[in-house]
Structure 1
Amino acid sequence: MKRESAGGVRGWRPATEEALYGPSGFYRRPEGPAGHFRTSVHASPLFAGAVARLLCLVDEALAHPAELAFVDMGAGRGELVTGVLKALPAEVASRARGYAVERAARPAGLDHRIEWLPAPPADVTGLLFANEWLDNVPLDVAEVDAEGTARLVLVREDGTEVLGEPVAGAEAEWLARWWPLAGTPGSPLPLPEAPDGPPTPEDLPEEVRPPAAGLQGPAQGLHGPYDPHAGEGLRAEIGLPRDAAWAAAVASLGRGLAVAVDYAHFAGARPPFGTLTGFKDGRETAPVPDGSCDITAHVALDACALPGARLLSQREALGALGVSGERPSLALASTDPTAYVRALAGAGEAAELTARGGLGDFGWLLQPVGIPDPLPGGERPST
């Protein structure tokens, strides 16, 4: 890739910030995100129902406070917070207060109980839930050049990329710890060969060994001695801004639980060429930072995790919250055909939310604040 340091190009982080959240940015378009892609929230009301059950578990852990907050980070048009409030039992709903955190303007007709904010409220008690928020926190991209040096990737408004200055400072430290680019001098990771299947927990560093460590991306095999040209073209997304954004969101909670749900990858199984991409009109497309499309990259959730966190898959989390894709008994079809059809439809929606190779492989990062982890099931990573 051509190397360039001036004139008409910017790093991916400022380019994405403007393209997504600027005055004419993608997230200010009138159709909203749901006009271009579908999240778990849009796939089925079962998702909001499961989050409502999680809020009830948090309520129990908090000993039923007078005011119970539900904070929806990256709220879109308020679909999740609306669904959660609707699904709560009456007694919990009477104490619940919804907050939608979003840069776009408040949509017309939104439930009056929902407060619309540009940043999470301070010192609230309850559940902060970030569904597919972190993947849209802008970050910079690094790529290994022909000499084995990791450089910032610069981009023009039409999506054309060039290489800029070497990665340095805190960004270089983050890469060295969380996403070492194999083939660069001093890299502790081997150069990649052909994938040989998902890693086992024993393949991963002990401090990031959650049961969901293989959620995405194959393990990488061993390679020979250092060869700078073998690493050329390898890419990484520098997740430092996401770590900081998540830490700030967690810090806004006085007591409760913070949850991030997203496309994820973990140490030992980082995608060798990164994940930066675009979405428009329901299809994946080239990431062009002109405001016409969503620009997203999968999240290094293990790097975001703070002490006491737990990492698991959406399949595990929703299973613990009662979402099952199990088909209803055929006996129900003969006794109550209408109920059978409803149960069958619900099972299909649950199956989509928990599917392997799809939404079920999303990562869930659970971060308790001042309470025990309220979600049953699963295991904790060794820390």
Structure 2
Amino acid sequence: MWLTWRTAMERALYGDAGFYARERPSGHFRTSVDTGAPFVDAVLALLLEVDKELGSPALVDFVDIGAGEGRLAAGVLAAVPPSLRSRLRVGAVELAPRPERLPEEIAWHDRVPREITGLVIANEWLDNIPLDVAELAEDGPRLVMVDTETGRERLGDPVGPGDLRWIERWWPLARIGDRAEIGHPRDAAWAGVVSGLTEGRAVALDYAHPVDNRPTGGTVAAYRDGCLVPAVPNGTCDITAHVALDACAEAGRRAGAISTTLSTQRDRLRALGLTAERPPLELAHRDPPGYLRLLARASGEGELIDPYGLGGFGWLSQTVRAG
């Protein structure tokens, strides 16, 4: 069946027989959450920072969007200090059913809640929001159609006026054959997150690229069982594409954000105290178990801030203030 990439991704990921209707993501690809305590501690530090900025209100939210199995939400809940735990409301947003062993205190949502006061994290969520792909032809940009059974592609109709405006602003096409991934569905989704904040901070972490360095061939890819596989949108693999976080940032500003920071995961996590510094070797003689714990911690931090891996992720942080 020939479909546009946006429709094909929607069915392949979220349809009745879609990938996320049947699979837990941890079995197919590794994310920052898989590093365990280092990432949880960094997010907790961020939450404490936001709580302080808000003046330690009576109720503080922590919401994890694209929560998967809820491991980040559960980790933050377990690690939060007593002074905040009594005021903390934790939510996880995911289309899959609630995991059986998730702590009862964590609310499970199938959509982003409104009136949030606190911190919202969207870790590798935007890259799974379906979008269309366009390719520059002799007569202008045309939608790329994909065969859902084989992954073969062909050009379809010219892009519509709204898509064309987005391309011209955020992903200009210079040469015949260049491609753009039309990101306004991600912009709208992120604007919805920001507009749902009464007060606090929204942070998106994802594969990203800037407007002056978009990949000319696009970034649509697929993963299964930890491996990169052909991008066939038939529900058997995760279909993803990198995110134009700068376009999302503009949408967030229009939705009410008063301040915006675009950075890398490496820079942001180093600012939160992650250094990947190895423990002194002499500790291995005095306290072997302690040395191994600290060594594992340093390894996790190193993975998170590796500029050629997770550390190269884009971080978009936007703040909303009440009134």
Task: Report the Cα distance in structure 1 between the residues aligned to 2:74 and 2:220, rounded to whole angstroms.
Answer: 30
Q: How does 1:100-179 map to 2 (within 5 A)?
A: 100-145=92-137, 147=138, 149-158=140-149, 159-179=151-171
Secondary structure at the aligned position of 2:278 is classed as coil
Task: Report the Cα distance in structure 2 between the residues aligned to 1:110 and 1:338, rounded to whole angstroms.
Answer: 29
User: Is the aligned partner of 1:330 residue 2:281?
Assistant: yes
Q: Which residue of 2 aligns with 1:340?
A: 291
User: Is the aligned partner of 1:250 residue 2:187?
Assistant: no
AA partner of residue 17 (structure 1): E
Q: Which residue of 2 aligns with 1:364?
A: 315
TM-score, normalising length: structure 2: 0.94
Q: Which residue of 2 aligns with 1:12?
A: 5
Q: Which residue of 1 aligns with 2:49?
A: 57
Number of aligned residue pairs: 314
Task: Report the Cα distance in structure 1 between the residues aligned to 2:223 and 2:35, rounded to whole angstroms.
Answer: 17
How big is the shift at 1:84? 1.3
Q: Which residue of 1 aligns with 2:63?
A: 71
How big is the shift at 1:148? 5.3
Secondary structure at the aligned position of 2:269 is classed as helix
AA partner of residue 244 (structure 1): A
User: Which structure has the bigger radius of gyration?
Assistant: 1
C-alpha contact 1:148 1:232 (8 A) present in aligned 2: no
Q: Which residue of 2 aligns with 1:98?
A: 90
Secondary structure at the aligned position of 2:213 is classed as coil
Q: Which residue of 1 aligns with 2:207?
A: 263
Task: Report the Cα distance in structure 1 between the residues aligned to 2:67 and 2:292, rounded to whole angstroms.
Answer: 32
How big is the shift at 1:63? 1.0
AA partner of residue 75 (structure 2): G
How big is the shift at 1:68? 1.0
How big is the shift at 1:170? 1.2
Q: Which residue of 2 aligns with 1:310?
A: 261
AA partner of residue 354 (structure 1): I
Structure 1 gaps of 5+ residues are: 1-7, 183-230, 372-383
Q: Which residue of 2 aligns with 1:241?
A: 185
Q: CA RMSD in A?
A: 1.3
Secondary structure at the aligned position of 2:144 is classed as strand
User: Is the aligned partner of 1:295 residue 2:239?
Assistant: yes
Runs of 4+ in structure 1 deviating by more than 6 angstroms, as ranges, are none
Q: Which residue of 2 aligns with 1:319?
A: 270
Structure 2 gaps of 5+ residues are: 254-258
C-alpha contact 1:135 1:299 (8 A) present in aligned 2: yes
> Identical aligned pairs, as a percentage?
53
Task: Report the Cα distance in structure 1 between the residues aligned to 2:207 and 2:117, rounded to whole angstroms.
Answer: 27
Cα deviations by residue, 1:51-78 (Å, 9 ceiling, x for unpaired): 0111111111111111111111111111
How big is the shift at 1:336? 2.7
Q: Which residue of 2 aligns with 1:25?
A: 18
TM-score, normalising length: structure 1: 0.80
Cα deviations by residue, 1:122-157 (Å, 9 ceiling, x for unpaired): 112110100000000100000122x15210011121
Task: Report the Cα distance in structure 2 between the residues aligned to 1:282 and 1:317, rounded to whole angstroms.
Answer: 26
Structure that is richer in strand per residue: 2
Q: How does 1:219-230 map to 2 (within 5 A)?
A: none
Task: Report the Cα distance in structure 2 between the residues aligned to 1:358 and 1:292, rounded to whole angstroms.
Answer: 25
Q: Which residue of 2 aligns with 1:351?
A: 302
AA partner of residue 369 (structure 1): V
AA partner of residue 38 (structure 2): L
Task: Report the Cα distance in structure 1 between the residues aligned to 2:285 and 2:24, rounded to whole angstroms.
Answer: 43
How big is the shift at 1:287? 1.4
Secondary structure at the aligned position of 2:121 is classed as strand
Cα deviations by residue, 1:79-118 (Å, 9 ceiling, x for unpaired): 1111111121122122111111111111112110111111
Task: Report the Cα distance in structure 1 between the residues aligned to 2:273 and 2:59, rounded to whole angstroms.
Answer: 25
How big is the shift at 1:236? 1.1
